[in-house]
Structure 1
Amino acid sequence: MIQEVKMVHIRFEGRSYDIAEQHLGIQGGMGDRIIKAHVARHLEVPVNRLDTYVVDHRPNGDVIVRPEAVYG
């Protein structure tokens, strides 16, 4: 079952954004590359700036776009 996205949480360059899915044009079931493209357009940056970012799909339908965590 595909859950619908409710809120998109973005962590980009030290800032956090919470944006409703409708504002970004994101729908449940969209792939990570498409989600990153919508987020990049909203942030007014080239999509390749999000190449190393992770798209985390939460059980409640929210999506988190964040930098990849590096440990060690």
Structure 2
Amino acid sequence: MTQTQAVHIRHGGKSYDTNLEELSLSDAPSDADLKNAVSRHLDIAAAEVNNYVVERTTGGDLVVRPNAPFG
């Protein structure tokens, strides 16, 4: 059994966990494809996640979150 990459999403103060298969994405999606799939999954406008950051962890998971300025 193969394990699909986990996708962790932070939006509107909530966290969501899904995976590439549930988002109908293949391995190694582009940031744009991932953001579009996340907007469809959350049933929100694509513009709401357009400026989000996509992090690719060393463990292979993907994190989609708002940009968090520090300072």
State the TM-score bracket (shorter-chain normalisation).
Answer: 0.7 to 0.9
TM-score (norm. length: structure 2): 0.87
| Gap change, CA 1:55 and 1:12, over 3 Å in 2 | same
Provide the alpha-carbon RMSD of the alignment. 1.5
Query: Where does structure 2 lack aligned partners over 5 or more consecutive residues?
Result: none
Structure-2 residue corresponding to 1:56: 55
Q: Distance in 1 between matches of 2:5 and 2:29?
A: 13
Contact 2:11–2:66 (CA<8 Å) still a contact in 1? yes
User: Once superposed, which parts of structure 1, at least 4 consecutive aligned residues long, lie more than 2 Å away?
Assistant: none
User: How many equivalent pairs are there?
Assistant: 69
Secondary structure of residue in 1 paired with 2:9: strand
Higher helix share: 1
TM-score (norm. length: structure 1): 0.86
**CA offsets, 1:2-52, max 9 Å, x none?**
xx9510000000000011221111222211000000000000011111122
